[in-house]
Amino acid sequence: MHIPDGYLGPATYGTMYGAMIPFWVMASRKLNKTFKAKQAPYLALGAAFSFVIMMFNIPIAGGTTGHATGAALIAILLGPWAAIIAVSVAVIIQALLFGDGGITAIGANCFNMAAVGSLAGYGIYRLIASGSDAKSKRRLIAGAVAAYVSLNASALLAAVQLGIQPLIERSPEGQPLYSPYPLSITIPAMAIGHLLFFGFVEAAVTALVLKYLQRNAPEMIP
């Protein structure tokens, strides 16, 4: 769900930069207030994880691929604002160095995967996990559900941003100027892969890492 350059028109990618900047500002402030310098290596690790897990493209029927993002996991372990920074940096490096996701779409891609992915994942995890023991099974279920919903929220947003293009960006002759598929195609196309498959991959990755930490370093699970 790395939207490339050329798929979103200026109105959309401009709006999405505008929507993302407050999250970056807020995340910086939150980190400044609450994040301890000694946590820096952990967030660097989280960002590295997000970067590399997104390289694991998984094929599904229909000839397309998808991947996990790690946003929910990082948000669960280090907080949603820290996760926004970590996943944003991974997304920005992917765009700048590897052409994965457009530079015009950095605002949109960070909004979808970093901001919404992290906040949704964190919120759902807290909701389900609150009051349970760090080593409990409920934490694993909470992590899995949070990861599943988080990735699907990100995918749905990308689908909406792509799907509104033919409505708002047309040539005088009525031809779409950017992403040509309407919402009635983009939403099912993105939702099916993520609801039926990639969401479960994200859930499994998140629960597995949480399980490992429960066994080996329960103090890392807040």
Partner 1 sequence: MTTIKKLWIGIGILALLSPLGLIIPALFGAGGAWGEWSLEEMKKLVGYVPQGMQKLARIWRSPMPDYAVPGQKQGLTIESLGYVLSAIVGIAITAGAVYLITKLLGRKNGSD
Q: Rounded to an integer, what distance in angstroms lies between the CA atom of residue 91 and that of residue 96? A: 9
Q: Rounded to an integer, what distance in angstroms lies between the CA atom of residue 185 and that of residue 83? A: 31
User: Nearest approach, Cβ of 100 to partner 1 (angstroms)?
Assistant: 7
User: Nearest approach, Cβ of 87 to partner 1 (angstroms)?
Assistant: 10
Burial label, 79 (beta-carbon count in 10 A; 0-12, 13-18, 19+): buried
Q: Does position 25 bind partner 1 by CB under 8 A?
A: no
For partner 1, the binding residue among 186, 203, 206, 207 (CB under 8 A) is 186
Taking CB under 8 A as the binding criterion, the range among 37-45, 118-126, 131-139, 144-152 that sits at the site for partner 1 is: 37-45
Q: Which is nearer to partner 1, 27 or 72 (CB)?
A: 27
Q: Rounded to an integer, what distance in angstroms lies between the CA atom of residue 73 and that of residue 70? A: 5
For partner 1, the binding residue among 21, 99, 127, 138 (CB under 8 A) is 99
Ramachandran angles phi, psi of 63, nearest 5°: 80, 15
Residues 38-97 that bind partner 1 (CB under 8 A): 38-53, 55-60, 62-67, 82, 85-86, 89-90, 93-97
Residues in contact with 97: Cβ distance below 8 Å, sequence separation at least 6, in sequence order: none
For partner 1, the binding residue among 115, 145, 162, 207 (CB under 8 A) is 162
